[in-house]
Chain A
Amino acid sequence: MVYAVGVDIGSAFAKAAIISSQLVAYHIIPSGGNYKLTADEAIKEALKKASLSLKDIAYVAATGYGASNVSFANEIIIEISCQARGVSYFFPSVRTAIDIGGQFTRVFKLDDRGKATAFMLSEKCAAGSGRFLQVIARVLQIDFAEIGPLSLKSRERVDFSTGCAVFAESEAISRIAEGASKEDILAGIHRAMAAKTLNLIERVGMEPDCALIGGGARDIGLVKSIEEILKLNLLVPEEPQIVAALGAALIAREKTYSTD
Chain B
Amino acid sequence: MKEYFAGVDIGSTMTKVVIINETILASVVGPTGPEHRKLANRVMEEALNKLSLPFSDITYIVATGYGRVNVPFADKQITEISCHARGVANLIPTARTVIDIGGQDCKGIKLSNGKAVDFAMNDKCAAGTGRFLEVIAEALGVELEEMAELSLKAKKAAEISNTCTVFAELEVVSKLAEGVPLEELVAGLHEAIATRIYGMVSRLKIEKDVVVTGGGAKNIGLVKAMEAKIGYPVLKPEDPLLTGALGAALLGKDMVKQAIEKGVPVARSERQLREATFFS
- Residues on A close to B: CB < 8 A? 33, 103, 123-126, 131, 135, 162-167, 170, 174, 177-178
Q: Which residues between 73 and 115 of chain B lie within 8 Å of chain A, taking CB atoms?
A: 104
A174 touches which one: B35, B162, B167 (CB < 8 A)?
B35
Q: Are B131 and A167 in contact (CB under 8 A)?
A: yes
Distance of B250 from chain A, by nearest CB (Å): 30
Set of chain A residues within 8 Å of B174, measured between Cβ atoms: 33
Which of A103, A123, A166, A178: most chain B Cβ within 10 A?
A166
Sorted nearest first, the 8 A-B pairs with minimum C-beta distance are A126-B166, A166-B126, A166-B165, A164-B125, A125-B164, A177-B35, A165-B166, A126-B164
Q: A126-B167, A164-B124, A165-B164 are in contact. List 5 more A-B contacts (CB 8 A).
A: A124-B167, A125-B164, A162-B124, A166-B135, A174-B35
- Docked Cα-Cα span, A174 to B279, in Å, equals 11
Cα(A131)–Cα(B126), bound, Å = 15
Assess the B34–A174 pair: CB atoms within 8 A.
yes
Measured CA separation A124–B170 after assembly (Å): 13
B167/A103 in contact, CB under 8 A? yes
Interface SS of B by simple majority? loop
Question: How far, in whole Å, are A41 and B198 apart by their CA atoms in the complex?
Answer: 44
CA distance A135 to B165 in the complex (A): 12
In the complex the two chains form, what is the Cα distance from A166 to B125 in whole Å? 8
Alpha-carbon gap, A33 to B171, bound state (A): 11
Rounded to whole Å, the gap between the CB of A82 and the closest CB of chain B is: 23
Contact yes or no, B279 A178, CB < 8 A: yes
Whether A167 lies near B166 (C-beta < 8 A) is no
Q: What CA separation (Å) do A33 and B125 show in the bound complex? A: 27
Contact A163 B167 (CB under 8 A): no
CB-CB nearest in chain B for A165: B166
Contact B166 A135 (CB under 8 A): yes
Instruction: Please give me the residue from chain B that is nearest to A134 by CB atom.
Output: B166
